[in-house]
């Protein structure tokens, strides 16, 4: 690592000059969510003839973002009497499946008992399958009953979801 370069708070990684004007830091793990860092260059970090306009830079990493790029009403092509809600969840930081399961909520906006198939409501009304890099997940509801009157299911991920990298959890 170049002498005279510090990152605060410290994060394991490697500094390297990629040109005579660009110093790059490559962390050994992902950055924590919504965390502030300060990079400081001391005079011995550059050649004597180099004059810097500033010797300290502060930046904040992006906050944890959770999106639902697709939420759909699903009908099983093999058995058209089976209907479910299917939703894709994407995050910009890796999260643990068990933590996501604690914070996913499916609400029926009109109060129709769509999750009570033949009058029986299961203990859990959905399951979640992990996709790529602990940043993509699929929510699949249990079999739903089609109501007589139109109703809607709202899928939400509640606040408090932590990332595997640390930093601030998902805010409301």
Segment 47-63, tens digit of pLDDT: 777 778 888 999 999 99
Kindly indicate the confidence band of residue 45, based on its pLDDT and cuts at 50, 70 and 90.
Answer: confident
Asked if the bond preceding 135 is cis, omega within 30° of 0, the reply is no
Two tokens at 138?
């699929």
Residue 1 has pLDDT above 70, yes or no: no
Residue 46 has pLDDT above 90, yes or no: no
pLDDT recorded at residue 52: 81
- Cα 59-171-9 angle, rounded to 5 deg: 30
pLDDT recorded at residue 22: 87
Mean pLDDT of the region 70-89: 96
Q: Report the C-alpha gap between 64 and 169 in whole angstroms.
A: 7
Residue 134 has pLDDT above 70, yes or no: yes
Residue 117 has pLDDT above 70, yes or no: yes
Residue 170 has pLDDT above 90, yes or no: yes
The predicted model scores a pTM of 0.86
Segment 67-78, tens digit of pLDDT: 999 999 999 999
**Mean pLDDT, the chain, as a whole number?**
93
User: Higher confidence at residue 35 or residue 48?
Assistant: 35
Segment 19-31, tens digit of pLDDT: 888 889 999 988 9
Q: Report the C-alpha gap between 136 and 83 in whole angstroms.
A: 23
Mean pLDDT of the region 26-46: 90
């Amino acid at each position: 690592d170049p002498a005279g370069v510090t990152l605060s708070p410290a994060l394991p990684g490697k500094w390297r000059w990629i040109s005579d004007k660009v110093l790059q830091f490559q962390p050994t793990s992902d950055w924590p969510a919504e965390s502030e860092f300060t990079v400081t260059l001391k005079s011995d970090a550059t050649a004597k003839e180099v004059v810097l306009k500033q010797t300290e830079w502060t930046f904040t990493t992006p906050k944890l973002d959770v999106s639902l790029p697709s939420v759909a009403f699903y009908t099983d092509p093999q058995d058209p009497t089976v209907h479910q809600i299917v939703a894709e969840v994407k995050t910009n930081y890796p999260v643990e499946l068990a933590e996501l399961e604690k914070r996913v909520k499916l609400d029926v906006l009109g109060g129709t008992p769509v999750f009570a198939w033949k009058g029986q409501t299961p203990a859990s009304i959905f399951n979640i399958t992990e996709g790529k890099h602990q940043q993509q997940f699929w929510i699949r509801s249990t079999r739903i009953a089609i109501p007589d009157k139109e109703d809607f299911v709202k899928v939400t991920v509640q606040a408090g979801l932590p990332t595997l990298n640390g930093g601030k959890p998902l805010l409301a």
